[in-house]
Structure 1
Amino acid sequence: MSQDPTQIDVPLASPAVRLTEKTLGALLALVALAWAADAYRMVGMMFLAEQFLAVVLGLALAAVFVRYPFRRDRPRRTLPWYDAVLAALGLATGLYVAWSYPTIIEMFFDLPIDGLICSWILFVLCIEGLRRAVGMPLVVIVLVFTAYALVGHLVPGALQTRQVQINRMILYLGMDTSGLFGLVMLVGVTIVIPFIFFGQLLFNSGGSAFFNDLSLALMGRFRGGAAKISVTASSLFGSISGIVVSNILATGVITIPLMKKAGFSARQAAAIEATASTGGQLMPPVMGAVAFLMADFLQVPYTEIVIAALVPSLLYYVAIFIQADLEAAKLGIKRVPEAQIPRLRTVLRKGWFFVLPFAALVYSLFWLNDAPELAALYACVTVLVLGLVAGYDGERMKPGKIWECVVATGINSLDILMIAAAAGFIMGILQTTGLGFALTLFLVKLGAGSILALLVIAALLCIVLGMGMPTLGVYVLLAVLIAPSLVEVGISPLAAHMFILYLGMMSMITPPVAIAAFFAASLAGAEPMRTGFTAMRFGWTAYIVPFLFVFSPALLLQGGASIATMVAVASAVAGVWIVSAGMIGYFMRPLGPVSRAGFIIGGACLLVPAEIGAWAAWTDFGGLVLSVVVVVFEYMTTRRLRGPEQAASGTRG
């Protein structure tokens, strides 16, 4: 069974500190889960969503200052008086805002003194809580936007903003639904927290052990099976977890040693795990809960997001899978030893029913059209019953584990809530100053009327802005900064948001700040920077495919199930396969420089979308011809070279 990716205890903290932390975490989770279940309305309690969010934020701030010390590199041993004061202040402010919110909003334009004081307190505490829970990158971005909002009216040119008075801006950020208590916080609390709870229940009921064993049983008998196990397990777990580091820890502690033992270098093992774990958040049906936020941003059904993500995620994992297979062939790495591979029939017999929570989730979302939070609760109930009644391999979940799951859910949502608060501040600043509109026009002019030039600029900005930030924060930041400029030049909103999601996610494996690659490297004992560059090679499709589906809506399945769609998908899969072989330098044997170039050029031509221009049909045809030529050449050459070897082997026999 894999290691718990959501360890919440702080061994060096005193019992009182740990008890306080767990109590706050449990209260946070229970309040959010009760809202998702509509429990308040059922008992006759009616209040605004902003009042509910204020309570959750107050609990989150209190928990952050209890859990995280002032110095992030030092463990929490005791609770200093100043952290106790900050925790109490955060909780008290959240509760006061929840109680007084209707009055504050009614007097909003008169700058009510209590609303202004509470807004300043929440702004400062959220910034410090963000620094402690997540780190400095997003803090710097928020402070830069805040500072620009105050001086932007003095900036000449396209990026000039309207003048705002600081107290009025802070009140707007702290109380308006376009600021702190806006869409991102609402989605984070009502949707993300139930899915975190689902992941906790799945892990503690034995579900994650089942999926790990299933991956081992399915892939262990194939060449380079250890790497394929990593790819399969990480895609399954990552879709639910939503946190790259948790995904690496949950699967990597098993798969990285397995890959190293099979013959992969520490660098290759870490890179494969990092790339596969990063892609888990691009995998339907859950997509690390980012899909639900995207659906709210675009005001489209969640099912449309999932359908659009199918082909791009397929291409991503096809490339990793093929490269892992060819890398294993190149290095002569065989299958996993038989003794370590469970029988598929045995694994299914012990845990087949863990597919039912996902079936309940998909049925609720796609057929009943339930809200995502309600669907998550149905899945939670399903996995809870299965864990208590059956468990995996005869190990049933103990009732006490349910409480641990509740506590862990609250604690593990702290960084997401702090990111949601930061995103609310940024969105509020963009709206109140007009900077969002100015930035959109600036990027469009910078692209000089060329969609391709704008996409390249946007891609670089996505990777740079995403460095050092968790998934949800990456997407929200890019959705408000970059996506509007792409939509402005005629790119469909869905393609624009999928574009920024993919390129933003690549910051996880792109040096110099490749969080996923560096974390996997530490587990594997590999050199971090080289691991990052190797991970970029394995995840190369995520740098290219977003450009493809912008020009070819068929890759997002937007044109329906037509012949053109099937041709586009087949051409893309073939192109990914051919290019991957060229990048590894191995097909049926090691490739020489000419054959390798032929594979890369032929595959790249197959990837060119037909919609990009009339000339693209000739590119596809030329790519197909060149690919067939190099594949047939390598096949015939390999057969010719193996003939004498087999004959010699027969003579010796």
Structure 2
Amino acid sequence: MADNHSQHSTSSPPKEANPEQKRYRTFDNTFMKILVNCSLSLIPIVGILFVLNIHQQLGLVFFNEQYFGLFFALILFGIFLVIPAAKNASLTKVPWYDWLLALSGLVVGGYLLIYYPDIMLMIGQVTTERFILCVIAVLLVLEAIRRMLGIILLSIVAAFISYGFLAPYLPGVLRGSGTAPDQLFNYLYLDPNAMMSMLDLASTIGLVFILFGQILIYMKGGDILNDIALFLFGRFRGGPAKGSILGSTFIGSVTGNPVSNVLLTGNVTIPLMKRNDFNGTQAGAVESVASTGGQIIPPVMGIAAFIIAESLGVPYVEVAIAAIIPAILYYLCLFLQVDFIAAKRGLDGLKSYMLPSLKGILKVVWLIIPSFGSLVYFLFIVGYTPALSGMYASIIAFFTLGVFQSYIRKQLFTKLFDILFGTGKLMLEITIVLAAAGIVMGVTGITGLGFNIGMLLQGLADYGLLTLLIVSAGVCIILGMGMPSVAAYAVVAVLVAPTLIDLGVQPLAAHLFVFYFAIVSNFTPPIAVACFAAAPIAQESPHKIGFRAMQLGLVAYIVPFLFVFAPELLISVDGSQSWTATGITLVTAAFACYLLAMGVEGYLFDHLTTPKRLFLFVIAGCLFFPYSIWEYSWILNYSAFIIGILFIISEWKFRNKEKDYQPADPSENYGLQKDQP
């Protein structure tokens, strides 16, 4: 059985180690401790029972919406108990108004739990009682957004709700359908196309994969992944940075939150990079870009892949497979840039004594295989739903990591509580994020705003699809700034993706396009939240880290355009695309990433001059030009490919000539012998 496997662990920080946790109340009162612990732990418990269909096995007739109501009630109750109303509010006591809000949350959620069978029969007939409860539900969500996510997202959601009232009175393309207040709030809270759809997602898929991530983190699965990453790459030049990329990618994929991932892994990886002579800006930027990119890595992709699948009505498998090649290009370019940084600075890898031992890795690596292996098996081979697949994988991960690690097994029940409590706490933010997105979706649908924005964006199509894509990318980044990636994607997907689809972009390509630009806002200044999280650890300016992160993540701004114009990069589950076109586009894009990384860092075998770097950018641009977009694209691709290879060969020869040329001793220039004065 595996024992304590490494001293290089990055996961499982001690409680309250996370700076973000300072915003949560902590209680000395025994009653309050028990109440909060039970209420937050109950969130995943009821979710587990629902996903495993225990109610059906017991012969209970239970509508899904009734479970959503119970889940929502627990979420609102938990938020107002543990999140204070202001920074200067008490962190140890719950004031009377928070008790009132918490109990109100139980009432509006309990209303769904108890009365949904009657509500379903007269969904369009809004009684005074229902209208009041729907208004309270929406107001509670707004206050929860303010407390948990800040004024930016609150302002966006409030603006959309205001638009629901003002739409008939606005001019031009902003004019929308009018809706009576009772119908508007009824729609926002109870309609399947608004908040209810997002509660469905949060309480099933979202909860299951947050649970899966918490199991890996609390039961040392995250440590194993990080140790594997360090073992594989730590010995090479720039090894700590490369190990950081791989480790942050693994963990970022299951946490789905770049900020949390930076705080979780960055506390170890950033100082490790700095000790290996990366400066603070570089270390913070590498961690920020790697943590953000975890969301584009199949099979988990945070939970965004499941939202995309739900939005398009396609199997999750289709989204995960399509995302493989873009993710490869993203991380290939990041790895190459880190390698060039290390080469330029003459950095070596870690010493052998600083690395996890092979014996230690072999002793524990098998523990992590069943967790991800079972997830892939249930998702892709058996074909279970994502929620059920994630639940089975979570159960397997818990018992594998818990039973076969002696030091975990001794505290298994403590770990179980930590996992349930941690999952419940994380679900507070995830659920409110998605509830906010549900409100935006609801207003957009009931007023016709989505159609109007589509018409506005279609006007840009007269200037070409590229112009529309550039503007859309800017809109996605701006809307995504300061917002969690899931919320950012959910908002921009409603506003931008339908227009791109109407103009001929493949639906999956359109949604991945807006998703990429929603997540790159995490490291795009001025509100680069991942970089702000990395700044205090790196002891550097968040803005410096942000601009460096833009350089390291440069390919993330290019790849979305690439797969819109070259959809063959998005592998289809039915294999309908041309594999020749896919192969050629992948090879040329990968080589373009190599040249782009070289140009950005200004180094190959030696420092590159500015003209050479500009030349590399041009050649990389020609290689990125899609193979299938134009009849003669292949000429441009092949020519650029050959020129790129010739450039590398010429630089290699020039380097060797310099090495072969040993300048004579200065004294020889004057015909003097070395021993002469």
* Bin for the TM-score computed over the shorter chain: over 0.9
Quote the offset at 1:393 in angstroms.
8.1
Quote the offset at 1:344 in angstroms.
2.8
Distance across 2 between alignment mates of 1:303 and 1:49: 24
* Partner residue in 1 for 2:178: 163
Is residue 6 of structure 2 the alignment partner of residue 4 of structure 1?
no
Q: 1:588 to 1:236 in 2, by over 3 A?
A: same
Is residue 438 of structure 2 the alignment partner of residue 421 of structure 1?
no
3-state DSSP of counterpart to 2:196: coil
After superposition, give the CA deviation of every residue in 1:78-120 in whole Å (9 maximum; x if it has no partner). Answer: 1111101110111122112221122234333332122111101
Q: Which moved more, 1:467-476 or 1:389-398?
A: 389-398
* Partner residue in 1 for 2:648: 631
| Aligned with residue 300 of structure 1, among 307, 314, 320 | 314
Residue type of the partner of 2:152?
P
Distance across 1 between alignment mates of 2:519 and 2:14: 21
The aligned runs of 1:484-499 (5 Å cut-off) are: 484-499=498-513
Q: 1:75 to 1:616 in 2, by over 3 A?
A: farther
The aligned runs of 1:359-378 (5 Å cut-off) are: 359-378=373-392
Distance across 2 between alignment mates of 1:513 and 1:114: 42
Is residue 305 of structure 2 the alignment partner of residue 288 of structure 1?
no
Is residue 619 of structure 2 the alignment partner of residue 602 of structure 1?
yes
3-state DSSP of counterpart to 2:195: coil
Asked whether the equivalents of residues 517 and 528 of structure 1 are also in contact (C-alpha less than 8 Å), the reply is yes
After superposition, give the CA deviation of every residue in 1:18-47 in whole Å (9 maximum; x if it has no partner). Answer: 432221111111111111111111111222
3-state DSSP of counterpart to 2:462: coil
Asked whether the equivalents of residues 243 and 288 of structure 1 are also in contact (C-alpha less than 8 Å), the reply is yes
* Partner residue in 2 for 1:412: 426
Asked whether the equivalents of residues 239 and 350 of structure 2 are also in contact (C-alpha less than 8 Å), the reply is yes
* Partner residue in 1 for 2:261: 247
Q: Which moved more, 1:533-542 or 1:469-478?
A: 469-478
Distance across 1 between alignment mates of 2:424 and 2:652: 56
| Aligned with residue 49 of structure 1, among 64, 77, 97 | 64
Is residue 96 of structure 2 the alignment partner of residue 88 of structure 1?
no
Quote the offset at 1:450 in angstroms.
1.5
Asked whether the equivalents of residues 204 and 397 of structure 1 are also in contact (C-alpha less than 8 Å), the reply is no
Quote the offset at 1:189 in angstroms.
0.9
The aligned runs of 1:503-522 (5 Å cut-off) are: 503-522=517-536
Quote the offset at 1:646 in angstroms.
11
3-state DSSP of counterpart to 1:77: coil
* Partner residue in 1 for 2:450: 436
Is residue 280 of structure 2 the alignment partner of residue 272 of structure 1?
no
| Aligned with residue 310 of structure 1, among 286, 304, 324 | 324
Q: 1:382 to 1:134 in 2, by over 3 A?
A: same
Is residue 77 of structure 2 the alignment partner of residue 77 of structure 1?
no
Q: Percent identity?
A: 34
Distance across 2 between alignment mates of 1:74 and 1:231: 38
Quote the offset at 1:351 in angstroms.
3.1
Quote the offset at 1:131 in angstroms.
1.1
Is residue 162 of structure 2 the alignment partner of residue 154 of structure 1?
no
Is residue 71 of structure 2 the alignment partner of residue 63 of structure 1?
no
Q: Which moved more, 1:105-114 or 1:187-196?
A: 105-114
Distance across 2 between alignment mates of 1:450 and 1:6: 53
Q: 1:171 to 1:592 in 2, by over 3 A?
A: same
Distance across 1 between alignment mates of 2:298 and 2:351: 32
3-state DSSP of counterpart to 1:591: coil
Distance across 2 between alignment mates of 1:582 and 1:396: 53
After superposition, give the CA deviation of every residue in 1:422-468 in whole Å (9 maximum; x if it has no partner). Answer: 11111111111111111111111133251111101100000000000
Residue type of the partner of 1:364?
F
Asked whether the equivalents of residues 403 and 409 of structure 2 are also in contact (C-alpha less than 8 Å), the reply is no
TM-score of the aligned structures, taking structure 1 as reference length: 0.96
* Partner residue in 2 for 1:256: 270
Q: 1:73 to 1:576 in 2, by over 3 A?
A: farther
Q: Which moved more, 1:458-467 or 1:424-433?
A: 424-433
* Partner residue in 2 for 1:178: 193
Quote the offset at 1:626 in angstroms.
2.5
Is residue 604 of structure 2 the alignment partner of residue 587 of structure 1?
yes
3-state DSSP of counterpart to 1:109: coil
* Partner residue in 1 for 2:633: 616
3-state DSSP of counterpart to 1:610: coil
Aligned-pair Cα RMSD in Å: 1.9
After superposition, give the CA deviation of every residue in 1:551-602 in whole Å (9 maximum; x if it has no partner). Answer: 1011112354722211111111000111110110000111112222222211
After superposition, give the CA deviation of every residue in 1:464-508 in whole Å (9 maximum; x if it has no partner). Answer: 000001121011111111100100100010000000010110100
The aligned runs of 1:313-352 (5 Å cut-off) are: 313-352=327-366
Q: 1:387 to 1:246 in 2, by over 3 A?
A: same
Q: Which moved more, 1:199-208 or 1:62-71?
A: 199-208
Distance across 2 between alignment mates of 1:465 and 1:39: 40
Asked whether the equivalents of residues 20 and 66 of structure 1 are also in contact (C-alpha less than 8 Å), the reply is no
The aligned runs of 1:212-251 (5 Å cut-off) are: 212-251=226-265
Residue type of the partner of 1:505?
I
Asked whether the equivalents of residues 188 and 438 of structure 2 are also in contact (C-alpha less than 8 Å), the reply is yes
Asked whether the equivalents of residues 254 and 300 of structure 2 are also in contact (C-alpha less than 8 Å), the reply is yes
Is residue 372 of structure 2 the alignment partner of residue 355 of structure 1?
no
The aligned runs of 1:561-572 (5 Å cut-off) are: 562-572=579-589
Asked whether the equivalents of residues 255 and 261 of structure 2 are also in contact (C-alpha less than 8 Å), the reply is yes
Quote the offset at 1:638 in angstroms.
0.7
Distance across 2 between alignment mates of 1:231 and 1:433: 44
Asked whether the equivalents of residues 211 and 423 of structure 2 are also in contact (C-alpha less than 8 Å), the reply is yes
Is residue 122 of structure 2 the alignment partner of residue 122 of structure 1?
no
Instruction: Return 5+ residue gaps in structure 2 as ranges.
Output: 1-8, 666-673
* Partner residue in 1 for 2:670: none
Is residue 565 of structure 2 the alignment partner of residue 551 of structure 1?
yes
Asked whether the equivalents of residues 25 and 84 of structure 2 are also in contact (C-alpha less than 8 Å), the reply is no
TM-score of the aligned structures, taking structure 2 as reference length: 0.93
Residue type of the partner of 2:91?
R
Residue type of the partner of 2:191?
D
Distance across 2 between alignment mates of 1:267 and 1:441: 42
Quote the offset at 1:153 in angstroms.
1.2
Distance across 1 between alignment mates of 2:664 and 2:604: 23
Distance across 1 between alignment mates of 2:231 and 2:33: 40
Q: 1:608 to 1:74 in 2, by over 3 A?
A: farther
